[in-house]
Structure 1
Amino acid sequence: MSKVVLVTGGSSGIGKSICDHLSGQGFIVYGTSRNPDSLNTPELPYTLLKLDVVDEENAKQVVKSIVDREGKIDVLINNAGVGITGPVEETPNSEIQKAFNTNFFGPINLMKAAMPYMRDQRKGLIINITSIAGYMGLPYRGIYCATKGALALVSESMQLEAHEFGIDICNLAPGDFNTNIASGRYHAPILEDSAYSRNYEQVLYVVNKQMDDAEDPAQMGIVVEKIIRKKNRKMHYRVGAFMEKFSIRLKQILPDKVFNKLLLNHYKL
């Protein structure tokens, strides 16, 4: 029987690439969007459902509707997320909370909704899309790093808790991919009288320039399929450019001051 897969944030970017690829490989795929009716997209090879991941009841309804239709849910891929940049000192708490609501509490809402069904099935897989940025604190991206790092850690805890029920939980951390996440990212404004204005503007320049050479998001669908088909899965997977993945290893082995110096040099700060 074909596996039933739910992918949040499935209307664009990485989520759409995952949905497109898995649909082409014979999976029964459901994607989600906050406003699917407003999208001017050609007919999709998968079903797109309306979902705001921040709404816990909405999450329960969407998962239940899939189980009612298909009789099961095999795989949950928590992909929906938002970007946020700015000096932490100058980022409004309301925007920090919004980022955590989507990037951290949103995946938890979906996991809470799906796990009772997976527990009854005695099997299931949850893949949380985190970020290589979640392994370290990057300048002027601290809130985003924190949301993804928090999701990675709670995934580790939940994997231990869910193990006895046959449920696997993995983290898949991408580096920079050529998606439209920047268009929906919250940017704290560059204030002329800010102590951070010069360095913040420099970091935004470097980040935007990196997007010109970013990876093709189609890679993510291929990696996700491989994870789904594996019998013995790892807790953590990373996909992206070599130096992005290698930076995680460097942080583990280098003294903090040396690693921080590398970051400062990278961003020309």
Structure 2
Amino acid sequence: MSKKVVFITGASSGIGKAVGSYLTNNGYTVYGTSRNPDRITNSPFELVALDVRNKESISTAISEVLNKEGRIDVLINNAGVGITGPLEEIPAEEIQNNFETNLFGPIEVMKVVLPAMRQQKSGLIINVTSIAGYMGLPFRSVYSASKGALELITEALRMEVKPFNIHITNVAPGDFATNIAAGRYHAPLKKGSAYEKTYGFSLQTMDSHVDDGSDPNEMAKAIIKVINTNEPKVHYKVGAPLQKFSIVLKRILPDNLYEKMLMNHYKL
């Protein structure tokens, strides 16, 4: 049997690169994407140019892989961008950019890949979401919303495509030691802002969580298990036990109590 062909968006660094490297080392044919692949010199797998905010770019990249390999067995929608700030102080264009990258882009990638998967009568789509998408976190409202929306899109779409032997699942990571903190949009910490003290503390807390985050190879190992599962579940969570347990607490605690717990954590 020929090697499975895996297409990973946002694979030039961080989780995407770790997953692509791990799959390559385990015998998969991997194509990753980057907005500027020519700038990447150390990728262990082939990179193609793709900007998830551009429909033409998406179609061109996927066509390139289909022309070379004749199929795409696994799509890993990993491209994403972080954003922090008091909602009141985040520019509208930054909110729109976040949703274009974290939600609308992955939707468009799926829309282009699905016809090929239907034709080959098989396929797996893994949407990389976030544990933050399970709850509204202070000063991460936009990020939580965009990732939470992708979770719900996945829940609905997986039912629509099951008759075609196509499986779709979410894999939600917690905090991992990647460069996401450096690449995300930070609303400026404004001197004299009503949020200066609380946002400043939360920003330090979020950055420390990423710095102390887990090894991205944990995500790679989790994803290869999903790929080798005949009937993937709707949701997978990967991260520190406390981060995963926070989802359980949200489900079982009264809303006001859960909110109080979060506010204590962020010293609000």
Range into which the TM-score falls when normalised by the shorter chain:
over 0.9
Q: Match for residue 255 of structure 1? A: 254
Q: Match for residue 165 of structure 2? A: 166
Name the aligned partner's letter for residue 110 of structure 2. M
Contact 2:167 2:231 in 1 (8 A): no
Identity %, equivalent residues: 54
TM-score normalised by L of structure 1: 0.98
Contact 2:181 2:210 in 1 (8 A): no
The whole-number CA distance in structure 2 between the counterparts of 1:223 and 1:258 is: 32
Offset at 1:268? 1.8
Q: Match for residue 4 of structure 1? A: 5
Q: Match for residue 219 of structure 2? A: 220
Of stretches 183-192 and 11-20 in structure 1, the one that deviates more from structure 2 is 183-192
1:239 aligns with 2:238: yes
Offset at 1:84? 0.2
The whole-number CA distance in structure 1 between the counterparts of 2:178 and 2:204 is: 17
The whole-number CA distance in structure 2 between the counterparts of 1:211 and 1:101 is: 23
In the TM superposition, 1:76-225 aligns within 5 A as: 76-225=75-224
Contact 2:10 2:16 in 1 (8 A): yes
Q: Match for residue 64 of structure 2? A: 65
Offset at 1:191? 1.2
Name the aligned partner's letter for residue 236 of structure 2. Y
Offset at 1:229? 0.5
TM-score normalised by L of structure 2: 0.98
Offset at 1:196? 1.1
- The alignment partner of 1:6 has SS state of strand
Offset at 1:153? 0.4
Offset at 1:210? 1.5
The whole-number CA distance in structure 2 between the counterparts of 1:243 and 1:255 is: 18
Offset at 1:194? 1.4
Instruction: Give the gaps of 5 or more residues in structure 1.
Output: none
Superposed CA offset, 1:83-116 (max 9, x none): 0000111110000000000000110111011000
The whole-number CA distance in structure 1 between the counterparts of 2:193 and 2:250 is: 30
Q: Which runs of 4+ in 1 moved over 6 A?
A: none
Instruction: Give the gaps of 5 or more residues in structure 2.
Output: none
Superposed CA offset, 1:212-250 (max 9, x none): 321000111111110001112101000000000000010
Name the aligned partner's letter for residue 22 of structure 2. H
- The alignment partner of 1:171 has SS state of strand
Name the aligned partner's letter for residue 127 of structure 1. I
The whole-number CA distance in structure 1 between the counterparts of 2:163 and 2:56 is: 27
Offset at 1:178? 0.3
The whole-number CA distance in structure 2 between the counterparts of 1:175 and 1:56 is: 29
Superposed CA offset, 1:161-219 (max 9, x none): 11111110100000000000111110001112211111000100111122232100011
Superposed CA offset, 1:59-80 (max 9, x none): 1111111111111110000000
The whole-number CA distance in structure 2 between the counterparts of 1:72 and 1:211 is: 36
Contact 2:32 2:46 in 1 (8 A): yes
1:36 aligns with 2:37: yes
Name the aligned partner's letter for residue 154 of structure 2. S
The whole-number CA distance in structure 2 between the counterparts of 1:223 and 1:145 is: 22
The whole-number CA distance in structure 1 between the counterparts of 2:203 and 2:182 is: 13
- The alignment partner of 2:236 has SS state of strand
Q: Match for residue 51 of structure 1? A: 50
The whole-number CA distance in structure 2 between the counterparts of 1:68 and 1:54 is: 22
Superposed CA offset, 1:105-159 (max 9, x none): 1101110110000011111000000000000000000000000000110111110
Offset at 1:12? 0.2
- The alignment partner of 1:48 has SS state of strand
